[in-house]
Structure 1
Amino acid sequence: MTRRWRFHPEGQAWAIAIAVAAAWAYRWRETHSPASQLLEAVLEHTPPGATRRGLQKARTLPLETAPALAARELGSGERVISEDTVPYSVWCAARHLDNYAEALWSSVSGYGDRDTTCAIVGGIVALSAGRASIPPAWLEAREPLPRRF
C-alpha cells in the first residue's frame, strides 16, 4: 500500500523561508549585501500564506527596532506555528549577520519560544558570521559533538 503524505502549507513555507535565509546568509560572507536584502530574498521564495504575510510585516520593521517590540509586532514563537516564529527569526538574523552572540541575545529578548527562535537564528547566523563568531566559552560549554563536526 502506498502511503500518501500531506504536508501543511505553512510548514512548507517555514522550510522554504529558512532554507533560503540560510543559503543567502552563507553567500553574504562574500557579498556583504545590505542585511535588509535577506528579508527580500526570503520573501521572493516563500509561498503565499500567513508566513509570507508575517515576513512582509517583518520587512517593514527597521532593524534598529528593539527586539521586544519586534516580537510584539511579529510574534516570537509563543503560538508554535510558522507565521509566529519565522518572521521574527529571520528579522533577528538580519539584524546581526556578522555577530552570532548578538543575534542570539536579540532572539532571546523577544521571549516566546526561545529555544526554537535561537536554533533558527543561530543556524542562519553561523553561516554568515562563521564559527569564529561563536564565543569560545559557548563552544566549550556545549555538549560533546561527534568528531566529524
Structure 2
Amino acid sequence: MNPDRRQRALDSLHGLALGDALGSQFFVPDNRVHLTERRDPPGPWQWTDDAEMACSVFAVLDRLGHVDQDALAASFAEHHDFDRGYGPAVNRMLRLVRTGEPWRDLAANLFDGNGSWGNGAAMRVAPLGAWFADDPARAATEAALSATVTHTHPEAVAGAVAVAVAAALSVRGTDDLLAEALPHIPPSGVHDAVAHARTLADPTSAAAELGNGRHTSALDTVPFALWVAARGLDYAEAFWTTATAGGDVDTTCAIVGGIVAAPPPPHWLAACEPLPAWAGT
C-alpha cells in the first residue's frame, strides 16, 4: 500500500464530507440567511448520501487497490441509510441489492432502460481521483467502473470521469485544470460544458450557463463544480463560491470539496460529523 496514495484519498474524502455536511445545512430555511451572509450555520453538521457513498469508494480502494464493482455494489447496499437523503431510484435499487437482486440488471434498467444520468456517481468519486493522481488516465478508467455500479447513462459516467480526473490533476498541480481534464472526458454534454466553462469569468454567469445542480443531473452539476475547483481558491472560498450559487448545494460543495481538498478551516472540521469507522478512516 502506498501511504501517500491513501493519505491524499483520505484528504479528499474529508474535504468531500465537509462540503456535503456544511452544504446540506442550507436546505434548512432558518439557515438561509447564514448562506447569503457567508456565516457558519449552527453545528453539528451531518453529511448525506454523498459522503456515505464516497466512504464505500474509499473503503474498496483501501482494501483492494482498485474498483471491484461487485465489492462496491455490496458496500453501497450494506451501508445504505435511507435517512441520508438518497434519491428514490437509488434507494429502491440498493434495497433490492441487499435482498440479492443483481446490481447490473437493476442499474441498467433504471429510467426505462436508459440508466440514471443523475449526479450521484460524480458526487462520490473525488477520493478515487486523488487515489490515482499518479495516472489520470487510470483515474478516468476506474471512475467509469465506479459510476456504472449505479449510473449507466453516458452523461453520468462522463460526469464521474470529469470529477475524478479533476481531483487527480488537483493533487498533481496544474495551471489549467479544465484544459488538462478535457482530453480524459468522454464525448458528451459534460465534455462540451466543461470546454465552455473555460470561457466564463465570474460565478454568476458560470452558474447561470452551466447549471448549479438544481436538476440533479451530471450535466447540470459537474461543469460548474469543476469551474469553481479550477479557480485556485482556498477551501473556504471555494466552498462559499459554490454554495452561494444555490441549487443542489450539498452535492456541488461535496464535489468541489473533494477536488480542492486543501486544509479546511479547523473549526469547520470540528463541526462536521465524523466519518464512519467502517470506512477505515
Which of the five TM-score ranges fits, normalised by the shorter chain? 0.7 to 0.9
The CA distance in 2 between the partners of 1:124 and 1:143, in whole Å, is: 20
So what's the TM-score if we normalise by structure 1? 0.82
Following TM superposition, the consecutive aligned residue runs of length 4 or more in structure 1 with deviations greater than 6 angstroms are none
Matches within 5 A, 1:1-149: 6=108, 7-28=152-173, 33-34=174-175, 37-62=176-201, 65=202, 67-97=203-233, 99-126=234-261, 129=262, 133-146=263-276, 148-149=280-281
The CA distance in 1 between the partners of 2:155 and 2:213, in whole Å, is: 14
Alpha-carbon deviation of 1:112? 1.1
The CA distance in 2 between the partners of 1:60 and 1:22, in whole Å, is: 21
Which AA in structure 2 matches 1:50?
A: G
Which AA in structure 1 matches 2:260?
A: V
The CA distance in 1 between the partners of 2:169 and 2:224, in whole Å, is: 17
Q: Is the 8 A contact 1:22 1:124 kept in 2?
A: yes
Q: Which runs of 5+ in 1 are unaligned?
A: none
Which AA in structure 2 matches 1:13?
A: A
Which AA in structure 1 matches 2:162?
A: A
What CA deviation, in whole Å up to 9, does each residue of 1:15-58 have, x standing for no partner?
Answer: 11011001000111xxxx32xx1001221111111111111110
Give the number of the structure whose alpha-carbon radius of gyration is greater.
2
What CA deviation, in whole Å up to 9, does each residue of 1:108-129 have, x standing for no partner?
Answer: 1211111110000000000xx2
The CA distance in 2 between the partners of 1:93 and 1:22, in whole Å, is: 9
User: Relative CO higher for 1 or 2, CA cutoff 8 Å, sep ≥ 6?
Assistant: 2
Instruction: Classify the secondary structure of the residue corresponding to 1:134.
Output: coil
So what's the TM-score if we normalise by structure 2? 0.45
Alpha-carbon deviation of 1:73? 1.3
Instruction: Classify the secondary structure of the residue corresponding to 2:192.
Output: helix
Q: Is the 8 A contact 1:43 1:56 kept in 2?
A: yes
Alpha-carbon deviation of 1:84? 0.8
Q: Which runs of 5+ in 2 are unaligned?
A: 1-101, 109-151
Q: Is the 8 A contact 1:96 1:102 kept in 2?
A: no
Alpha-carbon deviation of 1:75? 0.6
What CA deviation, in whole Å up to 9, does each residue of 1:58-82 have, x standing for no partner?
Answer: 01113xx1x1221001111011111
Q: Is the 8 A contact 1:68 1:109 kept in 2?
A: no
The CA distance in 1 between the partners of 2:275 and 2:196, in whole Å, is: 37
